[in-house]
């Protein structure tokens, strides 16, 4: 049962439960982009992202990736293990899109020779800047051992999800992960994996089935999220 709201973010709310080490993560319909400058609601997004994330976390578990997911509570809520979140957004890319095109001059759709892992400082005030391993160590956000675990897990998740989505007719272009540490010191995958945090393109048509439809007013946003849910759940 939900006790107290302890955090309300842009896309989710976190509640304490009777269990000290468990939280309820509730998914909202709110959508934001460009560091909060663009805001709206996407009908049913909360329940779609919750159920898509659950299907992905369950699949990752069968492949040996530890995640915070414990069980589904309702269509838009999941019970999770409470962790201390690393203030790092880990992005992994297979195909050039988004900031890789904007900042580095890649051409959208170019396949990368190997997966590219990037780190962004998780800070709305600072606009989530791209930073290096050296910055992470200097800021003491993770030590060398923890970051090497995080990087290995990210690449393992990438391999698993390329196949998972590939079988469902979807190209995994890029995605963002968040990791946390449990009270026992184990590093596990947290947050969500959904069309809000991944770029997903239909393998046949190339149609964008993710938050870029919202970011760039491409229309059929809810339909795209629903299409992903239909293919993964
Ligand atoms: P934001 O904080 O960027 O606005 P959200 O609205 O998605 O993002 O809020 C969810 C928050 O919950 C994020 O800050 C995320 O790091 C945090 N979080 C996710 N999973 C857990 C967990 N298992 N334990 C503690 N915090 C978590
Ligand atoms: N991403 C995310 N949260 C962020 C920033 C990026 O989930 O705060 C995801 C984004 O949806 C995409 C990937 O990370 O799948 C790479 O994003 P990019 O750096 O291209 O940034 P964008 O221009 O999309 O903000």
* pLDDT mean across residues, the chain: 98
**Residue 71: enclosing H or E segment and its boundaries?**
strand 69-74
Q: How high is the pLDDT of residue 150?
A: 99
Ligand nearest to the CA of 211: 2
Q: Which residues contact 39 (CB under 8 A, 6 or more apart)?
A: 30, 31, 32
Q: Assign 35 a pLDDT band (cuts: 50, 70, 90).
A: confident
Give me ligand 2 centre to Cα 22, in Å: 27
For the stretch 68-83, pLDDT in tens is: 999 999 999 999 999 9
The C-alpha angle 74, 68, 132, rounded to 5 degrees, equals 130
Give me ligand 2 centre to Cα 129, in Å: 12
For the stretch 117-156, pLDDT in tens is: 999 999 999 999 999 999 999 999 999 999 999 999 999 9
Q: Which atom of ligand 2 is nearest to the CA of 34?
A: 25
Token output for 81? 């293990």
Q: How high is the pLDDT of residue 2?
A: 95
Do residues 12 and 27 make contact, with C-beta atoms less than 8 angstroms apart? yes
Q: Assign 8 a pLDDT band (cuts: 50, 70, 90).
A: very high
CA pair distance 31, 41, nearest whole angstrom: 5
For the stretch 15-24, pLDDT in tens is: 999 999 999 9
């Amino acid at each position: 049962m939900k006790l107290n709201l302890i955090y309300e973010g842009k896309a989710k709310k976190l509640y304490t439960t009777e269990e000290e080490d468990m939280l309820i993560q509730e998914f909202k319909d709110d959508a934001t982009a460009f560091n909060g400058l663009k805001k709206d609601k996407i009908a049913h997004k909360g329940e779609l992202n919750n159920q898509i994330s659950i299907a992905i976390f369950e699949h990752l578990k069968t492949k040996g990736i530890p995640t915070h997911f414990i069980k589904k509570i309702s269509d838009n809520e999941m019970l999770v293990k409470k962790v201390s979140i690393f203030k790092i957004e880990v992005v992994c890319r297979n195909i050039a899109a988004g900031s890789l095109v904007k900042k580095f001059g890649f051409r959208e759709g170019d396949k990368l020779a190997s997966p590219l892992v990037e780190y962004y400082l998780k800070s709305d005030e600072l606009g989530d800047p791209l930073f290096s391993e050296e910055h992470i160590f200097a800021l003491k956000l993770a030590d060398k051992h923890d970051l090497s675990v995080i990087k290995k897990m990210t690449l393992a998740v990438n391999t698993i999800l390329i196949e998972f989505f590939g079988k469902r007719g979807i190209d995994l272009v890029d995605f963002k992960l968040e990791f946390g540490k449990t009270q026992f010191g184990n590093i596990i995958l947290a947050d969500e994996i959904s069309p809000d945090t991944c770029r997903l393109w239909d393998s046949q048509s190339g149609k964008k089935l993710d938050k870029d439809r919202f970011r760039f007013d491409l229309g059929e946003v809810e339909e795209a999220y629903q299409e992903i849910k239909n293919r993964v759940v």
